[in-house]
Chains A and B, each alone.
Chain A
Amino acid sequence: MSETVPARPPRRRAYHWLAALPALCMLGGVPFANRVEPYVLGLPFLLFWILLWVVVTSGVMGLIYALDEAAARRRSEGAGAASPDERAGGVARGGR
């Protein structure tokens, strides 16, 4: 079944963990941000806090996307034929 595997899967990278950051801050901060004052941008503080991390989520995912795209470009430019390391990476990812 492996003959139809579509385009190479991206590799796992350390910076992918950044994606967890906004969620942890948003939820972890709720007990402390659970207040009305100060109003920020005309919003009660708790609502502002949540809004802030929703926007940051988009920014962080944009950053991860840009880094992944750059890495994919380097990979396709860097090797007309995939390096052995590249192949091993693909297999290791698919296996357990």
Chain B
Amino acid sequence: MSAALGIIVAFLLVLLALGVLARRGRTMTLEQWSVGGRGFGTIFVFLLMAGEIYTTFTFLGGSGWAYGKGAPTFYILCYGAIAYALSYFLLPPIWRYATEHRLLSQADFFVAKYRSRSLGVLVSLVSVAAIVPYLVLQLKGLGIIVSEASYGTVSPALAVWLSTGALVLYVVISGVHGSAWTAVLKDIMILGVAAFLGLYLPYHYYGGFTEMWRAIERSRPGFLTLPARGMSPAWLISTVVLTALGFYMWPHTFASTYTARGERVFRRNAVIMPLYQLVMLFVFFIGFAAILRVPGLKGAQADLALLRVSKATFPEGIVGIVGGAGLLTALVPGSMLLVTAATILAQNVYRVAVPGTSDRTVAILAKVLVPVIALVAIWLTLRPGNALVPLLLMGYNLVTQLFPLVLLALPRIPLATRAGAFAGVLAGEATVAYLTLSGATLATLFPCWPEAVTDLNVGIVALLVNIAAVVVVSVATRRAFVDELRVPAAAR
């Protein structure tokens, strides 16, 4: 075993130990287990949310795209800030409603607001479908870290199997409750490693930042600006809008808002969190610094850039620490995604389909589903292709389709109706599925439209189809829905 791999294994053991400690001596009701008894303050909610946001996507994907695509990677810096500004107004009413009605999951919000269990099932299936590419992304990242840190002794496929085994083990041991503390460790690590590499590499290899940019501009003219077509300004703007709206629509992120003690928590976080985004700058620097030092990584291979440049620069021990930080950014969010998907399928899908299922059966089913979902994710991970960033964008395309429903549900009587909600989600997701599977873009569908339009992210098209369906159907069915809501809720 290489020294680097040894250090990574040591990180894994520390993580497992923290998981055991976090769990010890607690007997938890479902509410305590999933929303922490609704007693978390600013710092903890901040950490929970940051824990979900800084993943292997930011670490390897962000640097990989800086290396492979250049300026389009800047979109990652944009959408968080916009999402946080939006959260100041969006999250308090969601939290108030969730607390008042003692909601536990994201699907519960839709069930309660639109008075429809089947809408809850639909939303649950959509969110699991969105989680899967996000999970695949974490596994790909894990595979990259382990196989790179082994200096060629562990193949990428074996690395995926081994590290997914570690992930399932971690989930089984810690559940979700270890996540706030492990998130602390993870964030300190990624901050330290990203800042160190991001500042050291440009000075070490180029003598400074401006020199680095000049060198990149000389060898790859136009790499530091958005191209005129393809990933143009229109692409960046539409992608940022799409991802900013989808930011809090992820089921685990949505439900983590329920953990807050009060609504002021969100307002404070909206002030602090944009600055936390600045970590991404360092990650970009690492990817850019790698361009001229470890050239020749093509396509999805670009995600290797961060580890390759570390290996080219540092002894094994430091590579091990970098890999350890990467391991944390994949395992901590990965475990949360896995638990969320398993819980959603057991609680919000199976239990609705089979009424009268006991709490105990749901809990067992959720645990059984963890390795099953992991296997599906491994299968998808080992298929060749996608780089990390497109995987996340695919998940966002799916999950952002829920945004209109959440927004329209904020007034006491939702502005959309149940039928409208169904129509919107189905139309939006069908569009996403068609565009993803056929690989169509606006440029292929409408070749003679101007580029400012055809470069738009296709997710925007799905969102517009979605909104149109919601509006048309809701207007047609509004009267009956409002009359029904006025009747005291006997059905609930």
Interface residues of A (CB under 8 A from B): 1, 4-7, 9-10, 16, 19-20, 22-23, 26-27, 30-31, 34-36, 39, 42-44, 46-47, 50-51, 53-55, 57-58, 60-62, 64-65, 68, 94-96
Contacts and interface: CB of A to CB of B under 8 A. Distances in A.
Given A27-B240, A46-B225, A58-B274, A36 B213 contact: yes
B412 A57 contact: no
A26 B78 contact: yes
A62 B213 contact: no
Interface in B223-277: 224-226, 233, 236-237, 240-241, 244, 262-263, 267-268, 270-272, 274-275, 277
A57 B210 contact: no
Interface stretch (B55-63, B83-91, B114-122, B313-321): B83-91
A51 B88 contact: no
A39 B100 contact: no
A44 B224 contact: yes
Contact of B74 (A50, A58, A68): A50
B100 A53 contact: no
Contacts of B237: 27, 30
B412 A96 contact: yes
B54 interface: no
Given A50-B77, A61-B88, A30 B236 contact: yes
Contacts of A35: 225
Nearest to A29: B233
Given A6-B100, A19-B88, A57-B82, A34 B77 contact: no
A45 to B, nearest CB: 9
Most buried by A among B226, B241, B272: B226
Contact of B89 (A16, A55, A57): A16
Given A46-B226, A68-B267, 5 more contacts: A26-B82, A34-B225, A57-B82, A61-B274, A65-B270
B112 to A, nearest CB: 10
A65 B225 contact: no
B161 interface: no
A16 B86 CA distance: 11
A43 B100 contact: no
Given A46-B74, A61-B271, A34 B233 contact: yes
Nearest to A64: B88
A47 B81 CA distance: 14
A37 to B, nearest CB: 9
A1 B100 contact: yes
Contacts of B77: 47, 50-51, 54
B224 A36 contact: yes
Nearest to B217: A36
B96 A9 contact: yes
Interface string B412-431: 11010000000000000000
Contacts, number: 126
Interface string B113-150: 00000000000000000000000000000000000000
Nearest to A91: B412
Nearest to A3: B100
Contacts of A61: 84-85, 88, 270-271, 274
A36 to B, nearest CB: 5
Given A30-B226, A39-B210, A55 B233 contact: no
B284 A47 contact: yes
B296 interface: no
B233 A7 contact: no
Given A9-B96, A58-B271, A42 B208 contact: yes
B85 A19 contact: yes
A5 B89 CA distance: 17
Contacts of B233: 30-31, 34
A39 to B, nearest CB: 5
Interface in B6-37: none
> What are the nearest 9 A-B pairs in CB distance?
A42-B209, A58-B274, A57-B81, A54-B81, A31-B233, A44-B224, A57-B274, A62-B271, A23-B82
Contacts of A65: 88, 267-268, 270-271
B276 to A, nearest CB: 9
B92 interface: yes
Most buried by B among A34, A39, A44, A60: A44
9 contacts: A10-B92, A36-B217, A36-B224, A57-B81, A57-B274, A58-B275, A61-B271, A62-B271, A65-B88
Contacts of B99: 6
Most buried by B among A23, A51, A61: A61
Contacts of B412: 94-96
A42 B198 CA distance: 13
B433 interface: no
B274 A36 contact: no
B103 interface: no
A72 B397 CA distance: 38
Contacts of B86: 19
Contacts of B270: 61, 65
